[in-house]
A and B are shown apart, each in its own frame.
Chain A
């Protein structure tokens, strides 16, 4: 396929449209037995026209799985300790430090030292546990907002909210909403709900191992 040399030049110039040649049609065009009509065509998702492209897409997704190539090595660093006071964790990579920091130090309540998996959950916690104005309001109106992203519903108590989250949002019924232990330095648990923890300790007592 031989493209005119001017084509590339046209691409690098500014936008523009051709002044269309005059359109003159006669009724005999496309009249029976002929039937051509110029029309735009739409293809739905499952149309076989898309087969080749879809196959390429999925080969690409799977290539990533089966074709192994050397990925760029991340720099190795000498072991180093966590800088947060009271934490004695040691790391051998920046990634594990980053993960540790986000999991345990990034969204921590400065008052009771509980750690939260996100800034939003920490904000809810600060409001619900350490804001006296909230407590006053909560006696009169629904103040416990649903913790699911995008849901604006509010409830009278955190228990009612939990029931809503289990019923409406299909949160696991064993999603733990009890009060986690306080500690100095490193938070003892990660809190998912309002002051709630989904700590590993909870499963320990169940003795599920034979």
Chain B
């Protein structure tokens, strides 16, 4: 009854082109919101029956709301009282009804009374009304729900999984609604309550919990006020347990908790703790697993999980604590490089906007690791890497940076890097007008000429100097253009 609808398109009455345009518009709105640091989203659980019944939601006026509340409150039969609440629930799908509802004196008190009543049907129907309110974008609506939060938290510890799921999504929505809500939820014990709930065996509960936690972690004040208390509980251990590849791994749950981990890790509160708990090895294995899945299926939803996993690994690799465990198998395992390339290929086909995130991890893997650089060479991955150069300027710069990471390790590396398509590719990038791309190309050429002198000769013979000429007037580049020219001409 209370299954969340999966994110699939229903192309009824709507062409593909219309869906695409619609998606582009929503993307633009989200981008704008993110730049304004206003990017929040809420999830809605809805009953199938209600979904079918509601073609157009009618706005309820004060009198109707009061009428339904009165019926729910004083009706003689439970079924009749439930029906009144179901009607109210349907009405509350409309933002205007939500506003009217919260302005009505005593309405929330009555609803909370029903939420805590001893009649299970009413309890459930009242919880659905609250959930509908929690989905509102208006902070005032979220704040009107404040009297309900202590009960929602209490219900997390021992109800039917459907009801707990509903409470969790409601809490997750309210959390992003207003800081006032978070200021109340923290003392009310939301963190310990979630820590207790994460031991639930129900996948739907775990996914809802991951959602609520990710909402909490996105709060502006999270690094100072929320993450330290989360790290003090067994939550991190359980989150990592739920990300371990294997037959028990649920993609929906893993998506939520990998985003949670990302929010924790990029806040840099205590990443050493996560590393001690084995975060690198768990995430590394998950990356291998994802690469395996990509090869077997066409599931495009995979990037939703791959993205936070890449971010977590990349940021964790910058921690000094990593050095201590570097010798261990998880980071010395060259299969991580193989998996990453399989994912890069997948992104190229399905979600090119995620290529930079994958290349960022490749940079962090190769920057300080001769072993990973050697793997990349011995697995013959230079050519596929070069094939990414035309994708975009950002991608080009990252690809060239990874090549620089390899080249700066010295002659043995440049000797392996050199044969094949590297020179033609570099001559192409010199034709780019983007300064950053050319900038990084010049750095790579310097290393190649230094460690693999025959590269300078080949460059000269293939009209490399003419390609350089183009950039000799650019202030940022001219010193290096000049230096390279000298090297090529005079050794």
Contacts and interface: CB of A to CB of B under 8 A. Distances in A.
Q: Do A and B come from one complex?
A: yes
Interface of A: 1-4, 6-8, 10-13, 15-26, 28-30, 33-36, 38-46, 49-65, 67-69, 71-74, 89, 93, 95-96, 98-104, 106-107, 115, 117-121, 148-151, 168-172, 174-175, 186-190, 192, 198-200, 202-204, 206, 208-210
A170 B379 CA distance: 59
B8, B189, B259, B357 interface centre (most CB from chain A within 10 Å): B189
A53 B121 CA distance: 41
A71 B483 contact: no
Contact of B157 (A56, A103, A115, A118): A118
A3 B184 CA distance: 53
Given A17-B333, A43-B315, A200-B117, A99 B124 contact: yes
A73 to B, nearest CB: 7
A171 B6 CA distance: 35
A4, A101, A121 interface centre (most CB from chain B within 10 Å): A4
Nearest to A4: B380
B157 A120 contact: yes
B30 A42 contact: no
Nearest to A36: B443
Contacts of A190: 116-118
Interface in B255-273: 255, 259, 263, 266-268
A206 B110 CA distance: 10
Contacts of A67: 5, 7-10
B83 interface: no
A17 B74 contact: no
B150 A172 contact: yes
B163 to A, nearest CB: 5
Given A18-B371, A34-B442, A40-B368, A169 B70 contact: no
Counting contact residues on chain B (CB < 8 A from A), the size range is: 35 or more
Contacts of B453: none
Contacts of A198: 113, 116, 151
A17 B446 CA distance: 29
B405 A38 contact: yes
A197 to B, nearest CB: 8
Interface of B: 1-10, 23, 26-27, 30-31, 34-35, 37, 39, 41-44, 48, 51, 66, 69-70, 73-74, 105-106, 109-110, 113-114, 116-124, 135, 147, 150-151, 153-155, 157-163, 184, 187-189, 191-193, 195-196, 211, 233, 255, 259, 263, 266-268, 288, 291-292, 295, 303-304, 307-308, 311, 314-315, 317-318, 329, 332-335, 338-339, 341-342, 344-345, 348, 351, 353-354, 356-357, 360, 363-364, 366-375, 377-381, 383-384, 387-388, 404-405, 408-413, 416, 442-444, 446-447, 450-451, 479-480, 482-483
Which are the 6 A-B pairs with shortest beta-carbon distances?
A150-B192, A208-B106, A63-B7, A118-B158, A20-B370, A33-B479
B338 to A, nearest CB: 5
Given A34-B442, A38-B404, A53 B159 contact: no
A106 B163 CA distance: 14
Contacts of B2: 95
Nearest to A100: B120
B3 A55 contact: no
B408 A25 contact: yes
A94 B5 CA distance: 20
Contacts of A38: 366-368, 404-405, 408
